[in-house]
Each structure stands twice: as structure tokens, then as C-alpha cells.
């Protein structure tokens, strides 16, 4: 039987291009994640590159983000599925979830300690973190729900992006794979397509390298990505670890994180947004005018390493990253098809 990715490649060969919507229609994309999504306002960067690739399309983006959090906590304690369901959910259902979150704030320990502990162990955590450590995020989630009660635009999403963050486990019944699969069911029930955004916190380099950094971690992420491609059949998997490993192979002067901050730097944001375009459309962003990323974490008017907030990529660097993003997206599809 032909696989999803083989089918997509076959149709792409016939049509040469993919469209993310019908001509002239708006596209609505919801991003669920943490600071790897809100730094540089990544959804806006994705909007920019998608709209340049299809000028007749308007891309509308929204993000629900909580610093340092993953899909386990998004789905279990912050009820981010509310925002996936917002075109159909009732005020009573939203209020009921607010009440549940308010009840969580009265607890020193998680309501389901076995699940909390199993999740931590699946990530090889040295210790199980305290439940009270996420109370501030629960309060933020309550505010997000209360704001939705006041003004619910009833947006019907076309795509929902689920971000990984240090929660990639080889066990498909735990961590990112488990909770992305749970949320994917809700996404599809609400008429949207799934996009998986797999970050690369352990392999992004702060200094030039002569060989891939933590290739073992990149390979683990790739294996999990391939498994999820087969089990979930998402519209796209944005596999940043593969793209970075391919660029690092043989050495590179490009750096993808800050020295003084573990987040993607502007180059990391530029690579990721171009990778979104390549993975979602099956097309290369090569030659696009898009060339600027602005850091959103500001200290004394500078980025975390003391450099300029705004980075404009020169033509040679821009082209190199555009080509690398497309090469990584194509390589991932090849690897999935070969399994």
C-alpha cells in the first residue's frame, strides 16, 4: 500500500506545487507550544513565508504558549484543546474547564500522580518536579480561557501546530508522541489538519562546529518523527533536528542558538520558518525576498548575546538556509517512504 508521504510526493510530482488552501481563501493556523514558538514570534514568520509563497492567500495565526511547557501539560492541565475547539465550544464548557483549573490551584500534588510521575520518568528526569511549579502557568491558562469567554471569534482552524520540547521519548505511549496523538484526535474532529513541530534544543549549536552536535539526539528525534508520520499521518512534520544535523555535517559557521540563552537565535528562527514552508507545501522557499528576523527577548535594547535585535540575512546566507530547509523536508519524506 502506498504511504501517505509517497502519495504526497507522487501528487507533488504531477502538480509541481502544493497549496495550503483553495485560491483566495484565508488560512487559519493555531500554534500550541512554549518559548520556542513565541520567540521571534515564529507564527508571524511562518505567516510571512507562506504568504510570499502564495500571494493570493491571507494567513491568520494565533499562538497559545506557556514557557517551558509541553503537550502533556497543555492538554492535561491548561486545557489548550479549548482553543482547538473554539468554533464550536459553548461558554458553559469553557467555564467548566476554568473551574477545573481553579481547583488545581488548591492542590500541592497532581490530581493524577501516576501519570505525572510516568511522564517525568519517560523523559529520564532525575527527579519528579513539584506540581506547584506549574501553578503560574495554570493561572495564565485561566486568564486565556476568561479572555475567550469575553471575546470568542469562533475561528475554525485549518491547521494546528503542536510543538515538542525536551519531551521526545522512544516510547510511543509516553511524552510527545502520546499527547500529540491525543490532541490530534481533537484537531481532526474539529476539521483541521495536524502539523508537528519538533524542536532541537539539544543539537542547535552556539558556536561553529566541524561535525553534528549530539547526533544521537538528532537521530532519536528523527526516529520518533518517522514513527509519528506513519501513525498520525499529519499534513507536515517540521523536523528541526534533521535540518540542523544536515547543515552541521561536514562543519558549518552557522549557529542556531545564542551563547547566553538556550533558545534559537535569529538564524534558528529563519531556518525553522523556512522549514515550515517546505514541509507544509512541498516547495522550496529558494529565492524568496523574506530575509529578516527580529529577536523578541530584549535586554538593554540588545539580543541575549548583546547583538542587534534585527538580523537581515545577506543573499548568500539566505539562499543557503532556504536550500537547506527544502533539502531537509525532502530528505525526511524520502526516509519515511523508505521505511
pLDDT for residue 8 = 44
Read off the pLDDT of residues 71-83 as tens digits, 9 standing for 90 and up: 999 999 999 999 9
DSSP secondary structure code for residue 252 in this structure:
B
Contact yes or no for 59/47 (Cβ under 8 A) = yes
Q: How many other CB atoms are found less than 10 A from the CB of residue 292? A: 14
Question: pLDDT of 50-97, one tens digit each?
Answer: 999 999 999 999 999 999 999 999 999 999 999 999 999 999 999 999
Q: What is the pLDDT of residue 18?
A: 57
d(CA 215, CA 202) in angstroms, rounded, equals: 9
**C-alpha 23: how far from its chain's center?**
26
Asked if residues 163 and 34 have their Cβ atoms less than 8 Å apart, the reply is yes
* Residue pointed to by grid coordinates 491571507: 58
pLDDT by residue (tens digit) across 100-153? Answer: 999 999 999 999 999 999 999 888 877 899 999 999 999 999 999 999 999 999
Cβ(227)–Cβ(168) under 8 Å? Answer: no
User: Does an H or E element contain 305, and which?
Assistant: none
- Residue recorded with cell 543557503: 320
* 17-23: long-range contacts, CB 8 A cutoff, minimum separation 24: 17/281, 17/282, 17/283, 18/280, 18/281, 18/282, 18/283, 19/54, 19/281, 20/50, 20/54, 20/57, 20/59, 20/158, 20/159, 20/280, 20/281, 21/54, 21/57, 21/158, 23/56, 23/57
User: For residues 238 and 272, is the Cβ–Cβ distance under 8 A?
Assistant: yes
Percent of the chain having pLDDT more than 90?
Answer: 88
3-state secondary structure of 125: coil
Phi, psi of 179 (to 5 degrees): -80, -30
pLDDT in tens, 159-184: 999 999 999 988 878 899 999 999 99
State whether residue 155 is helix, strand or coil: coil
Please state, as a whole number, how many other Cβ atoms lie within 10 Å of the Cβ of residue 215: 14
User: What are the chain's domains?
Assistant: 4-64+156-338 (3.40.50.1110)
The model's pLDDT over 286-338, given as tens digits with 9 standing for 90+, comes to 999 999 999 999 999 999 999 999 999 999 999 999 999 999 999 999 999 99
Contact 237, 221 (CB under 8 A): no
Residue 23: is its pLDDT beyond 80?
no
Tell whether the model's pLDDT for residue 16 goes beyond 70.
Answer: no
Question: In this predicted structure, what is the pLDDT of residue 42?
Answer: 98
Scan for cell 525526511, then name that residue: 332
Which tens digits make up the pLDDT trace of 236-276?
A: 999 999 999 999 999 999 999 999 999 999 999 999 999 99
Amino acid at each position: 500500500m502506498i504511504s501517505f508521504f509517497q502519495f504526497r510526493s507522487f501528487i507533488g510530482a504531477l502538480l509541481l506545487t502544493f497549496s495550503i488552501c483553495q485560491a483566495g481563501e484565508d488560512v487559519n493556523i493555531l500554534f500550541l507550544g512554549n518559548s520556542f514558538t513565541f520567540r521571534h514570534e515564529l507564527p508571524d514568520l511562518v505567516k510571512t513565508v507562506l504568504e510570499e509563497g502564495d500571494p493570493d492567500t491571507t494567513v491568520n495565526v494565533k499562538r497559545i504558549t506557556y514557557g517551558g511547557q509541553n503537550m502533556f501539560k497543555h492538554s492535561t492541565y491548561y486545557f489548550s484543546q479549548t482553543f482547538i475547539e473554539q468554533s464550536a465550544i459553548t461558554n458553559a464548557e469553557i467555564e467548566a474547564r476554568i473551574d477545573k483549573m481553579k481547583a488545581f490551584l488548591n492542590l500541592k500534588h497532581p490530581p493524577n500522580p501516576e501519570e505525572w510521575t510516568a511522564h517525568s520518568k519517560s523523559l529520564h528526569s532525575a527527579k519528579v518536579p513539584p506540581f506547584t511549579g506549574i501553578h503560574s502557568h495554570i493561572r495564565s491558562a485561566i486568564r486565556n480561557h476568561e479572555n475567550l469567554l469575553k471575546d470568542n471569534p469562533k475561528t475554525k482552524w485549518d491547521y494546528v501546530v503542536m510543538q515538542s520540547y525536551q519531551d521526545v521519548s522512544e516510547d510511543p505511549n509516553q511524552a510527545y508522541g502520546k499527547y500529540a496523538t491525543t490532541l490530534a484526535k481533537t484537531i481532526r474532529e474539529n476539521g483541521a489538519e495536524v502539523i508537528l513541530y519538533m524542536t532541537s534544543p539539544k543539537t542547535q549549536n552556539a558556536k561553529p562546529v566541524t561535525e553534528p552536535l549530539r547526533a544521537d539526539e538528532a537521530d532519536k528525534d528523527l526516529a520518533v518523527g518517522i514513527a509519528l508520520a506513519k501513525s498520525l499521518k499529519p499534513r507536515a512534520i517540521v523536523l528541526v533536528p534533521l535540518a540542523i544535523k544536515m547543515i552541521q555535517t561536514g562543519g558549518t559557521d552557522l549557529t542556531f542558538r545564542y551563547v547566553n540563552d538556550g533558545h534559537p537565535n535569529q538564524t534558528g528562527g529563519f531556518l525553522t520558518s523556512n522549514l515550515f514552508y517546505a514541509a507544509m507545501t512541498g516547495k522550496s522557499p529558494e529565492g524568496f525576498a523574506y530575509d529578516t528576523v527580529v529577536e523578541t527577548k530584549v535586554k538593554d535594547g540588545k539580543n541575549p548575546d548583546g547583538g542587534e535585535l534585527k538580523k537581515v540575512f545577506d543573499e548568500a546566507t539566505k539562499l543557503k538556509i532556504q536550500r537547506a530547509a527544502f533539502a531537509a523536508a525532502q530528505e525526511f519524506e524520502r526516509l519515511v517512504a523508505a521505511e
